Each structure stands twice: as structure tokens, then as C-alpha cells.
A and B are shown apart, each in its own frame.
Chain A
């Protein structure tokens, strides 16, 4: 044809775009990654951290499916911590502070080294269509290239605007060009677009801070890695610091609230409730006397410190005053001000669970453009979009994880089924099968799928299979390891705050006591010694919560039954009697693939589901078997 043609094109090289491009190229598709700036790949424009509760689980799953984020985080980490350590092990999660530059550089090197992957700078202004399907993209410089599978992962760049006080400027991120034109191109293709906003705190110079007024926050002594492939994370770690806002900080904010873009209306669109600005926190919780501020380094080789907790888009002069009045930051020099960014997103209920748009076959979207927030949420979608774009090219069945398999499944099902009304962040409470979807067993759950897709090599897959076997064997052996009551044992039990034993008891039974951790009983069951710390954790949870794990497994069975109840794609809900008007609209919009998915569509009541069920039964009865 004499044109530049690729099997998959990925627009945007943020966390979603990188995963998408890598997955597609690794699955053997000739892939092009387009970015507005080759110098801004895998950037972390907000906090210098990856993971956290809910998010850490996503990263582990990405890793188990052969994604890059976990490895990259381990490499760039300057502090690693297990969260929820004191809670039940089932909801433990990892978080890393990262060196932003190191993170970018390594990701770049990985991209550069990837077979089948071309990388090119350019701003896409138009998605080209042919016969209703995607055909290619046109860049601002006039260059066009062609592909039948295109992934848009443009983050906050679509019609991006940044706001500080009353200053409003078009920008994708501070100091970067927005993506103009692409939004209109999507609207023309029949896609509905909304507007969200998000904000980031000011960065200050590490040399201007008074650390004597702050509490150091250290990483774990024996840090656990994100990636199942990372051997060791033993290295120098940097501390973060904790300080609190003061009454004076609050007074400054209150006096200047009228200048806050949320008051003046300079930013419209919803922001994330889990990450409010300091203005909003003080407005909504006036009785709270102080708010924590975590001071986090942005890297080894920069003096920039990130002020977690002081997110704001108040005018710069007010930001200065806020900082002056916060203990430890009195003399802090702002290096970059905080700001808000408003951007276009596409309502994600316009997507299939493959992240393909319903309006345009072959067009996928992933990341913040789908109304999510967070690097991890973006990367997870990028991976799934990349996989599905490649599968489409190869003419294979799509790849969809359901809610019982992974947090990634929960994330995407929530997006495409319930839609969003604020930037979506993952929480463990969103996952109904939380005791099964754990950080510690992510590889056991998903590596087989990664292997089938060609994203995990045979050697790694074999190792995980072996781990799965070993863990099951040891867990089983704890049930049959019977011990007699001894003084040593009873001393330990009393010390841990639980009751003594006076008959023989299995080690598993002891472990099921809430006060007893696996470390306490290791000496009673030598077979535990052959396990790594991570493997011990899997055994601990599986044994400790065996009853509840079984219960969730049986709930999963029920869940799968409803998921298997297929709804024909062409079903005309407007003609379906017995549905509420709201349900009709919503179901027409979402076009759920199963009765289970339909039941999760917001505004659809059990009465609607009954009507739907009646209809499905009747059409089954009518059509010859």
C-alpha cells in the first residue's frame, strides 16, 4: 500500500500506554507507540509512589500476567513497605516510594529493547475510520499510519487544562502540550465525553526543610518486592517524613477559600473523593484540628520533595502561606506549585470488558481517559487493552478477567458496568472475593493465564506451578501435624494473649487462632522452613482463614452461574416488557454480556433482573433447542 502500517498502534506512553505496547509487541504484533514527547515516557506526574492498599494488589497481578510495572517499581524503589501488616494478612499490600527518573529511564530502556516495537514522537489529531472500524491515525505533523487495532491511552491530555488560582492554561500536564483535536475526533465517532479534574500538591526543596519538627517514616527492614521475578530488594532506602498542618495553616486556607478554584468554579468536573485538596478537607471537616502531611523524596538525585496531603490549586501566593504555617515547612522553598488539571474522559460504560469501544470496532481506550485515577489502575487497563488488541489482530478469543479472578477484573467490570462519577480508584472493599484475591497468591492465580498468552515464559510458569504445589502440600501437612501440650508451647500461647492447650492439637488449629502468626509456630512444623517468606504467607492465609476461603469459593461458584447466563448482544431492551425506563436506558447503554453483569448495572433493580430472566426463559422456550 506504500503506507506505514502496524498491527497495533498505542497512543500515549504513560503507564497504560507502556504496558499496552509491551504486551502487544511481546505477543508478536508489530506495534507502534506514539507519544507527544519522547522525553516524557512513564512519567509520574503526581506522587512518587506505586502500590498501596488495593493498588499494590493490582501491581502484583500485572506482574503475574507478564506486565512491566512490578519489575520497574522494584528497580526504582527508594523505600518499600508492607501496608496492613497488623491487619489480616489477606489484605496486606505493598507500597513503594520510587525515584521518578530511575523509573522513567528503566521503562524507556525496556521499550527500546523490545522486539516488534517502534516508538515515535507525535501528537495524534484524528482517528481514521473505514467502514465504521478504525483504520489509522493522523498526526499533527501530517504523518498518517494505519492499523486495525488502536489503543488510546492519553491520560489527562485530552483537552487538558491546568488551573492555579485564576490562571487557566491549556496543558496536558504542567509545562506540556495538551492533546487537542483527538477529543472531537472521538465525539464524531459517536463516543460520549465527560470532564474530570485532578490535582497535585506543591514540591519543595529538600534543603529548605526543618526535619527536627517531623517524624521520619522508614521502610521495612526486609522489604518484599513487587515482582515475582525480583530476587532481592536489599538496598539503601530513603526515609519519608511526617508533619501535620497547624491551626494557622487552616486559618490561611479558610481566609483564602474564596480564591479556591472549587469555589470560583475555575475547575468544573468531579475530582477524586479519596484524594481531596487541602481546601476541600478543611471545608468538609472543619472540626478536624490537623491533617497529616507526608514529605516524600521524588528521587535520589533531586532535591524535590512531594507534600502528600497538601494538594491544592489555590493561587501560588496562598500556597506559599500555607507552607509557611506548617511546622517543618516554615522556610520551605516551592520548586513547583501545586495545580489542578481538568481533562476529557470517555464514559467507560461505552466499552466492552476488553476495553474496546462499542462505537468503533478496533478502537480501545485505557487508563485515565477511561475515568480512572492512579498509575496502577492505568497500567492494569493498558495491559488488558494491549492483550486484547493483539488477540483481535491474531483473530483469537478476547481475554477477560472476571471479578472472582483478579482485582483487574473488578476494576474493568466496575468501569464498563457501573460507569464512573468521579475518578475511579481501587479499594479492596470493591472486591467481593477479597480473601481469594490476595497479593501473596497473585502469581498462583494468574501466571497460567500469562503463560497461555505468551507473556510469561515456560521456566517462570514452571516455577510458579511448583510453588503452588509446595504451598498446598505444606498447608495440608499443618492439618496433620499434631503436637502435644508442653510448657514451652503454653508459655508462648499465654505470651501471645491466647489460651493454653491441654490436649493434643494440630498446628493448623493453633494457626487459626487470631493471636498466632505463622512465625510463632514455625518451630513446631519444620516443613515451613523450606518456604520463602512469601510462600509462608500464602500458607498462613489459606490455613488461617480456611473456612472463610471455602465460603468465598462457594460464593464464586454461584457468581459464575449468573455470569454464564448469556444475554444475546442484539437484545432490544426497548421492546422488553416489564423493565423500568431507567433500566431500559442503562441496559441499552451497557449491553451486558451476562445476567450477572446486568445485575451490577447501576439503576437496575432485582425486579428488572426478574423481568429479564422471564424474557430469557421465554425466548429459550420459544426457540427450538
Chain B
């Protein structure tokens, strides 16, 4: 993002509900001046000179021709006590999307620039209002599509992750103070903690880091969604299943086998678990050029997907092609979806044996919606063991964080091993400082070494 940080930006900051209230937000040094140009306060009241955090009722108008646009409530918030630490003006209007768009156009004509996505947050971060983890959380909130994603992001915004990391860093700094005291004040009359105790402290910190790191696979799922492929022979009802999961007619459904030729991708939320579902072309030998390419694409998708939903038509006998396809699927977990449960099930279906990576078999009717709920439940169980309440935990949802945590975990483990191998303190401390700087990069704070401060408060130094 090319950032210019000294102009005034504007954006519609709440999605407009039908007839609901929407907000146009301005932030920057000229926010109040710009808003003033398109606003008539009731009884001639003006925005300039208003106290911070006050509301003013009035009307927005188009200065070009003097026509009124909408009745609005304007709040003025002055720097630095604002989200971005800049002057902020929020124009609350109730005229729906059209009015909001119009007001945004007006403020831009009056000198504001339309903000890039996440730019308010970027400013909050640059102005020191948020730490890095919090800023990233806001971006996640803006982008979050499911409940669970939102919960984690909100938790992170409230500083959950930063707090957790702060606590771990603190423990590491305590160890570091011991090591450094042993080096710098070895000629003093001080008693540093015994090696066992230091080992124990390191092990504990390592355990916590590891646990935090392990949340990252769940975190990544929450952030990016599970890469899911719906595959099967032609006409078994794959596109119908996608539509059923979406509860919307997204993919074309016909009785003609080979309808779907290309991969169709949609994001859906299954019990709060985000899925990126791909509907694929039915697998069969074909002479049609387009279909051949489609089938190749399907095969590729089978290989790369995290979760494969293999659909069969339950009303038909299990075919050789079905069996071949089952063997081709390597994703773990995979789910067998026996479709068309509204029709009589063919006797061969019950005896179908599944490879080990198939962790569930569900009967559904994509036509009637029967069993879809069951399918959703088994997906949820497969990925979150039935427990998707993450609200109380710091969760790593960001690839950068995951990488840093992993590095810090390794460094802490190494420090522990070095201590155990009776390596000298100054070597252990080198490794530990690496861990601390990795953690600091997540919160964007230097976990600065007031190590000396700690030493002086803990030990009586001074011969």
C-alpha cells in the first residue's frame, strides 16, 4: 500500500443496512475543515471550535448547487484522543447507500481522499495508537466472514495475543536477568537462581510458546478457510451440494452430465468454520476438449485440497469409476457424501468400504436439504473436535506471527538445552535474546532490556 500519511482520508465506515444508519468517517488534519464545507448546522452552528467528542445536528448539502443531501448527526473528535490519533469527523446519516455514496463524493470533492482498505488502522498504528498485533487484528475484523474469525480478531484487538506474549516475554526476561547478573556481577556477593530453577523457568516458557504456536494451524484455518473440494462422477449432484451448503443457487445445475466445466470457488461458513469450497467438473473420460481440461483441473484440485468431499449418487450402483476415484483421494480427512438420499438407496452402497483417510460418511439430499446439517456437523468435528469456542484464548491467525512464534519456541528450546549442557551464561543469553526479539516483533515493541533495572532491583549490587 502506498501510504501518504499527512492528508485527510474518508470512507464509509459501516456497511449500510436497509434504511439503517451509516457513517462516513474522515481522519486527518483537515477533517473538520472539509466536513464544514458540506455541512449546515442547525441554527447556524459550526463544527470549527466545537469541543472534542461532541455531536451536532444539521444537514449535508452540495456546495456546487446548494441542494440538501441528507439530515445528519456529525461528531467531532479531536487529536490525539481518537482512534487514529488524528482529528476525526464522523457523519452519521440515515439515507441509505445512495446518500452515503453522495456524501463520500462530496467530502472527496472538498479535499478528502478516499481511504484505502485498512488505512484508518494503518494510521492508528503509525501514530502509536495500536500495537502491530492489534492493527493486524483490525484488518482481520474488516475481512472476517465468520463468527469464529471475528471472535479471534476481536480478542486480538483487545490485546489478548499481546498480553499473552507479554507474559511469556516477561518470564524470559526474568531468566535473562539471572544469566546476565551471573556474568556481569560474578565478582559480587549475589546468589543467582540454581540451574535447575532456570531450566524449569525456560521449560515452562517453552511449553507456553509451543502451545501458542500450535493454535496457529487452527488459526490459519480460521483466517484463510479450509481448502475444500467437492468431487465425484458427473451428475452425482456436486453443484447441487455446493448450492445446498451455500443456501443459494450459485452453480448451474442440470440433468445433463458434464455441466460443470470449470472450478467454481465460494467461501462459506459451516458452524463458524470458514470453508473455501470448490465445485469441480465431474470426473470421466471425455473427448470434449473443454471437458478434458475441466477434468484435469478436478484432478489437480483433489491433490491440493485440505478436505475432499467425495460425492456419489446413492441411488445408483457403486461403479468401478467410483472406486477408482475413492483411491485417488489422498486428503486427510476426506468425507464420503452419499447424495440423493431422497431416492431409494442402491444395495451396493451400504457395503462400500472406504480408505483410511475417509473419516466420515454422510447421507444427504442436496435437492431437499436433508442431511446437510449432519454434513456440516461432521466437518466441524473433524477440524475443531466439537470445540470452536476460542474466545478465551490467544490464537495465532497470522502467518507472520506463526513464524515468529515458531522461531522463539525453537530458540527457547535451544536455550534450555544449552543450560542443560552447562554452556556458559553468555551463550545461553545470546539465544534467549533472539527469542525475545522475535516476540517483540509480534507486538511491535522492543521487549527492551531493562535487564539491568531488574538486576539492580533483585540483587544487592555494589561492593
Query: Which residues of A are interface residues toward B (Cβ below 8 A)?
Result: 52-54, 83-84, 86-88, 90-91, 95, 273-276, 281, 284-285, 288, 291-294, 308-309, 311, 427-430, 432, 434-435, 514-515, 545, 548, 551-552, 577-578, 580-581, 583, 599, 605-608, 610-611, 614-615, 618
Tell whether, in the assembled complex, residue B426 and residue A552 are in contact, meaning their CB atoms are under 8 Å apart: no
CA distance A452 to B379 in the complex (A): 72
CA distance A545 to B132 in the complex (A): 35
Is there contact, CB below 8 Å, between A427 and B422? no
- Kindly state whether residue B444 has any CB partner on chain A within 8 Å: yes
Contacts A548-B430, A599-B446 known; list 11 others, CB within 8 Å.
Answer: A83-B187, A87-B183, A274-B456, A276-B462, A308-B463, A429-B180, A514-B423, A577-B5, A605-B128, A605-B445, A606-B445
Contact between B187 and A434 (Cβ–Cβ < 8 Å)?
no
User: Are B189 and A88 closer than 8 Å at their CB atoms?
Assistant: no
Contact: A429 with B452, CB < 8 Å?
yes
- The listed residue with most A CB atoms (<10 A of its CB), out of B185, B433, B462, is B462
Docked CA distance A272–B400 (Å): 41
Given contacts A434-B426, A514-B423, A614-B5, contact A606 B126 (CB under 8 A): no
CB distance from B267 to the nearest CB of A (A): 31
Q: Give the top 5 A-B pairs by smallest Cβ distance, nearest first.
A: A88-B424, A577-B6, A578-B126, A285-B460, A429-B180
A53 to B187: give the CA distance in the assembly, Å: 9
What are 17 A-B contacts with C-beta separation under 8 Å? A53-B185, A88-B427, A281-B462, A294-B463, A309-B463, A427-B180, A428-B426, A429-B452, A434-B426, A548-B427, A577-B5, A608-B128, A610-B125, A611-B126, A614-B3, A614-B126, A618-B4
The answer to whether A292 and B189 touch (CB under 8 A), given A281-B462, A605-B445, is yes
Q: Is the CB of A84 within 8 A of B427?
A: no
Q: What are the residues of chain B within 8 A of A284 when measuring CB–CB?
A: 460
Least CB distance from B180 to A in Å reads 4
- Which residues of B have CB within 8 Å of A52? 187
Q: Convert B427-463 into 0s and 1s, putting 1 for each residue whose CB lies closer than 8 angstroms to a CB of A.
A: 1011101100000000011100101100010001111
Partner of B5, one of A275, A294, A578: A578
Q: How far, in Å, is A509 (CB) from chain B's closest CB?
A: 14
Contact B430 A580 (CB under 8 A): no
Write the chain A residue with the least CB distance to B430.
Answer: A548
User: Are the C-beta atoms of A309 and B462 separated by less than 8 Å?
Assistant: yes
Q: How far is the CA of A595 from the CA of B251 in the complex (A)?
A: 54
User: Does B123 count as interface, using CB distance less than 8 angstroms?
Assistant: yes
Contact call A90/B426, Cβ cutoff below 8 A: yes
Q: How far is the CA of A292 from the CA of B191 in the complex (A)?
A: 13
The 8 Å CB contact of A281, one of B6, B127, B426, B460, is B460
Q: How far is the CB of A362 from chain B (nearest CB, A)?
A: 34
Encode B1-20 as 1/0 by CB contact (under 8 A) with A: 00111100000000000000
Q: Which residues of A contact B36 (CB under 8 A)?
A: none
Flag whether B163 is at the interface (Cβ < 8 A): no
Give every chain B residue within 8 A of A309 (Cβ-Cβ): 462-463
Q: How far is the CB of B192 from chain A (nearest CB, A)?
A: 12
- Interface presence of B182 (CB below 8 A): yes
Q: Is the CB of A53 within 8 A of B433?
A: no
In the bound complex, how far is the Cα of B434 from the Cα of A29, in angstroms?
A: 45
Is B350 part of the binding interface, using a Cβ–Cβ cutoff of 8 Å? no
Q: Is B186 close to A, CB under 8 A? A: yes
Does B421 have its Cβ within 8 Å of any Cβ on chain A? yes
Knowing A429-B451, A552-B430, the reply to whether A611 touches B456 (Cβ < 8 A) is no
Q: CB < 8 Å: which of A88, A577, A607 contacts B125?
A: A607
Q: Do the beta carbons of B184 and A273 come within 8 Å of each other?
A: no
CB-based contact A435/B426 at 8 Å: yes
Contact assessment for B424 and A90 in the assembled complex, using a CB-CB cutoff below 8 Å: yes
Is B376 on the interface with A (CB-CB < 8 A)? no
B28's closest neighbor in chain A, by CB?
A: A577
Q: Does B425 contact A (CB under 8 A)?
A: yes
A605 vs B126: C-alpha distance when bound (angstroms): 10
Minimum CB–CB distance from A586 to chain B (whole Å) comes to 13
- CB neighbours of B434 from chain A (8 A): 551
On chain B, the residues within 8 Å of A552 by CB distance are 430
Nearest chain B CB to A485 CB, angstrom units: 21
A84 contacts B463, C-beta separation under 8 Å: no
Contacts of A53 in B (CB 8 A): 183-187
Q: Is the CB of A83 within 8 A of B186?
A: yes
Kindly provide the distance from the CB of A582 to the nearest chain B CB, expressed in whole angstroms. 9
Distance in Å: Cβ of B420 to nearest Cβ of chain A = 10
Min distance, Cβ B422 to any Cβ of chain A, angstroms: 5
Give B179-208 as 1s and 0s: 1 = Cβ < 8 Å from A's Cβ atoms. 010111111010000000000000000000
Residues 102 to 157 of chain B near chain A (Cβ within 8 Å): 123, 125-128, 131-132
Please, which residues of chain B bring their CB within 8 A of the CB of A294? 463
In the complex, which residues 366-405 of chain B have their Cβ closer than 8 Å to any Cβ of chain A? Answer: none
Q: Is the CB of A580 within 8 A of B183?
A: no
Contact check, B444 vs A606: say whether CB atoms are below 8 A apart: yes
Asked whether B127 lies within 8 Å of A607 as measured between CB atoms, the reply is: yes
Output the nearest chain B residue to A600 by Cβ-Cβ distance. B446
Q: How far is the CB of B133 from chain A (nearest CB, A)?
A: 12
Chain A contacts of B425 at CB under 8 A? 87-88
Residues of B within 8 A of A293 (CB): 463
B184 lies within 8 A of A291 (CB): no
In contact, B463 and A292 (Cβ under 8 angstroms): yes
Chain A residues near B4 (CB-CB < 8 A): 618
Closest residue of chain A to B130, judged by CB? Answer: A607
Please give me the residue from chain B that is nearest to A287 by CB atom: B460
Q: Which residues of A contact B429 (CB under 8 A)?
A: 429
Nearest A residue to B183 via CB reads A91
**Across the interface, do A580 and B189 meet the contact criterion of CB distance under 8 Å?**
no
Contact (Cβ within 8 A) A273 B445: no
A273 CB contact (under 8 Å) in B424, B431, B461: B461
A291-B460, A514-B422, A605-B444 are contacts. A84–B186 as well, Cβ < 8 Å?
yes
A3 CB to closest chain B CB (Å) equals: 48
Chain A residues positioned under 8 Å from B128 (CB to CB): 580, 583, 605, 607-608
Contact A291 B430 (CB under 8 A): no
Contact B463 A429 (CB under 8 A): no
| Complex contact A91–B5 (CB within 8 A) | no
Closest Cβ of chain B: how far from A120's Cβ, in Å? 38
With A83-B187, A87-B425 as contacts: A607 and B126 at CB distance below 8 Å: yes
Q: Is the CB of B463 within 8 A of A87?
A: no
Check if B424 sits within 8 Å of A87, measured CB to CB: yes
Whether the pair A515, B422 counts as a contact (CB closer than 8 A) is: yes
* Contact between chains at A514 and B5 (CB < 8 Å): no
Rounded to whole angstroms, the CA-CA distance of A432 and B461 in the bound complex is 22
Query: Could you say which of B189, B430, B446 contacts A606, with CB atoms under 8 Å apart?
Result: B446
A508 to B421, CA, bound (A): 17
Minimum distance in angstroms from A235 CB to a CB of chain B = 23
Inter-chain CA distance A445–B433, complex, in Å, is: 24
Q: A87-B186, A434-B430 are in contact. Are A514 and B424 (CB under 8 A)?
A: yes
Measured CA separation A114–B177 after assembly (Å): 46
For the complex formed, measure the closest distance between the CB of A168 and the CB atoms of chain B, giving whole angstroms: 24
Q: A578, B427: Cβ atoms under 8 Å?
A: no
CA distance A288 to B189 in the complex (A): 11
Distance, CA A86 to CA B434, complexed state (A) = 25
With a cutoff of 8 Å between Cβ atoms, the chain A residues found around residue B126 in the complex are 578, 607, 610-611, 614
Q: Which of A90, A606, A608 has the most CB of B within 10 A?
A: A606
Partner of B189, one of A87, A291, A614: A291
Q: Are B184 and A427 in contact (CB under 8 A)?
A: yes
Most buried by A among B123, B184, B434, B460: B184
Say how far A71's CB is from chain B's closest CB, in angstroms. 24
A-contacting residues, B44-82, CB 8 Å:
80
- A583 and B128 CA atoms in complex are apart in Å by 10
Please, which residues of chain A bring their CB within 8 A of the CB of B185?
53
**Which residue of A is nearest B440, CB measured?**
A606
Q: Looking across the interface, which residue of chain A has its beta carbon closest to that of B461?
A: A274
CB distance from A85 to the nearest CB of B (A): 9
Chain B positions within 8 Å of A86 at CB level: 186
From the candidates A311, A429, A599, name the one contacting B183 in the complex (CB within 8 A).
A429
Chain A residues near B444: list those with CB within 8 A.
605-607
CB-defined contacts of B431 to chain A, threshold 8 Å: 548
